[in-house]
Amino acid sequence: TSALFAFILARRSEINDRFRWHWAIFAGLATLSYFPLQKAFVLGQVQVWNNALFALAALAWIVDRRLLAGGLIGLMCLLKPQFLLFILCGLLRREWRFCAGWLVVVGAGGIAALIEFGLGNHLGYLAVLHELSRTGEAFISNQSVNGFLNRLLGTDATPAIWKDHEFPAYSPIVYFGTLVTSAIMIGTARACAMARAART
């Protein structure tokens, strides 16, 4: 998917069109050699599926298949609800086909999940998310702001060792630092999108 994505984008560029196969091969190899992707695969994390769905959604978006892109992002939300922010982007951009695809998948999947697992499991997952948001991850390969702050403040004595069932100690600095930087990044992205829209 990454190779095809690069190929299509290169074909749209006067400079890169003649290198479209080079870019495709490079993107494919770069994806396969990307450490977080490899680590998630080795650990058997659901993040592998989210990565694949996002790549497919991005591909659908650039070939103007907004309904399909929304459906694929909807599948991501069923696996990891934190991706709900994408529907806000769709609404703010008035991408109604994207929103429709998302709504169909999330609606059908959400109803099926409630029938299969019950309301208690869903509410319990909110408690899990709350706890995870309080600590984050200190593992040295986690290059997010949260991971950096956890390592900087020493909330985990051995960040170079992956722990299957442990999380770093809670730190208000890490928690609020992560919230603030996340808000800044999301706000900046939104401000840039609004500035672009104003210019067109």
State the pLDDT at residue 137. 82
pLDDT (mean) for 87-99: 91
149 and 174 in contact (C-beta within 8 Å)? Answer: yes
Q: Which of 32-36, 61-65, 97-101, 181-185 has the lowest mean pLDDT?
A: 32-36
Q: What is the CA radius of gyration of the chain?
A: 19
Helices (H), 35-152: 35-43, 47-62, 66-79, 85-92, 96-135, 145-152
State the pLDDT at residue 110. 93
pLDDT (mean) for 14-39: 89
Confidence of residue 61 (pLDDT cuts 50, 70, 90): very high
State the pLDDT at residue 196. 79
Kindly report whether the global pTM for this prediction surpasses the value 0.85. Answer: no
**pLDDT at residue 25 is higher than 80:** yes
